Structure 1
Amino acid sequence: MPRAWWRQLLSRFDPTPIPDPLWRRALVSCPLARRLDDERQHALRGLSAAFLARKRFHPLAGAVLDERIRLLIAMQACLPALEQGVRCLRGWRELLVYPGEFKVRRSHHDEHSGVVSEAEDVLIGEAWERGPLILSLADVQLDLEQPWDGYNVVVHEMAHKFDMLDGPPDGVPPLPDGINRRDWIVAFQRAYDHLSNDVARGRETLIDPYAAESADEFFAVVSEMHWSQPGLMQRAEPSVAALLTAYYGPSPAPT
């Protein structure tokens, strides 16, 4: 039977159901969803319908979004919400989709010199606190074609969104009652420090070195690994892997 939160979703919010032919077509293209058991597939279908009803997609710079690709984005965005439910989707509404990489101009203030400099970053995804989620369509499609390579831009950015539910991102999202906050902080900080030390020393790492950029990027990167390479995540940091399973539920990826 569906979990209690799923019944609450149906009673509080009644999105338009996803038609069977569209759902079957999307499952063929999304191995992560296709490998879920029947109960979790059913939950994902309902969450995806709620996502499509609540979020507004904005194709930019010539990106083309048909109903199938919108659903595939929604499915990947809702995979990380399977355990926590629809409440994880709150706090934002807009989803911007570029055809490929996009540029973002940023200002940097040097605290020591007081100099403010500007630079352009080239990104494939970004999540703003209380603002939009931004994606590269080319990378979304690549993740669907190569689901077990350790990367998933939609999952990465959704992890940031979950992290921001209780304020600025810090690598600690709101946790369910079954996960001790102190245990999470200790395990993630230890793993982050270990990775940062290895990266600083030029050592090869099982976790993408980008995760050493900050605690919130570490959480987003290991979230990708949980869904696409859980075996490697288990080898790299068993305590973090166990917490990710408790938070997200078991990964359907081959181990």
Structure 2
Amino acid sequence: MTPSDWWRRFRSQFEPPAIPDPLWRRALAACPLALRLDPTRQAALRQLATVFLARKRFHALAGAELDERLRLLIAMQACLPALQQGVRALRGWNEVLIYPGEFKVRRSHHDERSGVVSEAEDVLIGEAWEHGPLVLSLTDVWLDLEQPWDGYNVIIHEMAHKLDMLDGPADGVPPLPPGIVRRVWINTFQRAYDDLVAETSRGRETLIDPYAAEGADEFFAVVSEMHWSQPGLLQRSEPAVAQLLTSYYGPSPAPF
């Protein structure tokens, strides 16, 4: 055995198993966001999804059912926002929790004025915890696959939070590549967020989902969904934000 043969054998022990061609083709046909990528980005997505499947543990909860194709479909959409950043964007967490539909989360709220701590249950379709799991509603995962261009995608929304939290608590400013000036990002997003808050507070209809006015972190996640699934609407509403997201994520595969 030559040294190069030994090295290839040694390295193969640590490489994740390849996604079989038939499985990849079936999943690709069912995921319009991935299907419309150019061949180079499709190949990069396949490599990234391979790593995702090897590193993340999937847990089906409350009667949800998962098979290998569904795991791959989730991995593919989760890796789309990470295409530009690569494998390092997947660091810091290990689990994907899948519920069959909406799920409840109990939260504590501290009122700074009164000092009173209250508890309430939120009904969610997705959630991302810093250093914790990615939590998804299977019903909404399927809905996004069936309606890929409606401006919504729960996996991309929650993965935007994951990217945002790579450098600490979510604040709408993820670690940025060298080509994007941090101050430009902050100023552009803050102005767009402030405008949305002002419009929603007046009761006006907005092109961006009013949920984005909940906080700078939610604004980033909502416009990330729009970049991938309805970029034309985002361009009409906030062209400067749309341009920055194209630099950050790469061009949208949406057909308009």
| Short-chain TM bin | over 0.9
Alpha-carbon offset, residue 144 of structure 1: 0.2
Aligned equivalents of 1:239, 1:102: Cα separation in 2: 35
Does residue 164 (structure 1) correspond to residue 165 (structure 2)? The answer is yes
Counterpart-to-counterpart distance in 1, 2:76 and 2:197: 32
Give 1:68's aligned residue.
69
**Contiguous gaps of at least 5 residues in structure 2:** 1-10
Rounded to whole Å, the distance in 2 between the matches of 1:107 and 1:91 is: 25
Q: How does 1:121-200 map to 2 (within 5 A)?
A: 121-200=122-201
Match of 1:228 in 2: 229
Structure 1 residues 75-130: Cα deviation after superposition (integer angstroms, max 9, x where no partner) = 00000111111110000001100000000001111111111111100000000001
In structure 2, C-alpha distance between the alignment counterparts of 1:139 and 1:73, rounded to whole Å = 11
Letter in 2 for 1:128: W
Matched residues in 1 for 2:205 and 2:194: separation?
Answer: 15
1:119 matched to which residue of 2? 120
Aligned to 1:252: 253
**2:105 alignment partner, SS class:** strand
Deviation, 1:67, is 0.2
Give the whole-Å Cα distance in 2 for the aligned partners of 1:186 and 1:113: 33
- Quote the offset at 1:20 in angstroms: 0.4
- Runs of 4+ residues over 2 Å off in structure 1: none
Match of 1:34 in 2: 35
SS at match of 2:70: helix
1:216 counterpart residue number: 217
Amino acid at match of 2:160: A
Aligned partners of 1:90 and 1:168: how far apart in 2? 15
1:97 matched residue in structure 2: 98
Identity of paired residues, percent? 80
**1:154 Cα deviation (Å)?**
0.2
CA distance in 2, matches of 1:70, 1:225: 23
Rounded Cα–Cα distance in structure 2 between residues aligned with 1:96 and 1:82: 22
Using the size of structure 2 for normalisation, the TM-score is: 0.94
Deviates more, 1:107-116 or 1:61-70: 107-116
Task: Name the structure 2 match of 1:6.
Answer: none
Q: TM-score, normalised by structure 1?
A: 0.95
Cα distance, 1:236 vs. partner?
Answer: 0.6
User: Over alpha carbons, which structure has the higher Rg?
Assistant: 2
Size of the alignment, in residue pairs?
246
CA distance in 2, matches of 1:47, 1:133: 17
Counterpart CA distance in 2 for 1:245 and 1:86 is 19
CA distance in 1, matches of 2:244, 2:192: 12
Other structure's SS at 1:148 match: coil
Q: Confirm or deny that 1:50 pairs with 2:51.
A: yes
Cα shift at 1:15? 1.5
Deviation at 1:140, TM superposition (A): 0.4
Q: Partner letter of residue 201 of structure 1?
A: R
Deviation readout 1:221-250 (Å, 9 max, x if unpaired): 000000000110100100000000000000
SS of residue in 2 equivalent to 1:106: strand
Alpha-carbon separation, structure 1, partners of 2:106 and 2:153: 24
CA distance, structure 1, for counterparts of residue 239 and residue 81 of structure 2: 19
Q: CA deviation at 1:28?
A: 1.1
Q: Secondary structure at the match of 1:240?
A: helix
Identify unmatched segments of 5+ residues in structure 1.
1-9
Matched to 2:125, the amino acid is: I
Offset of residue 14 of structure 1:
2.1
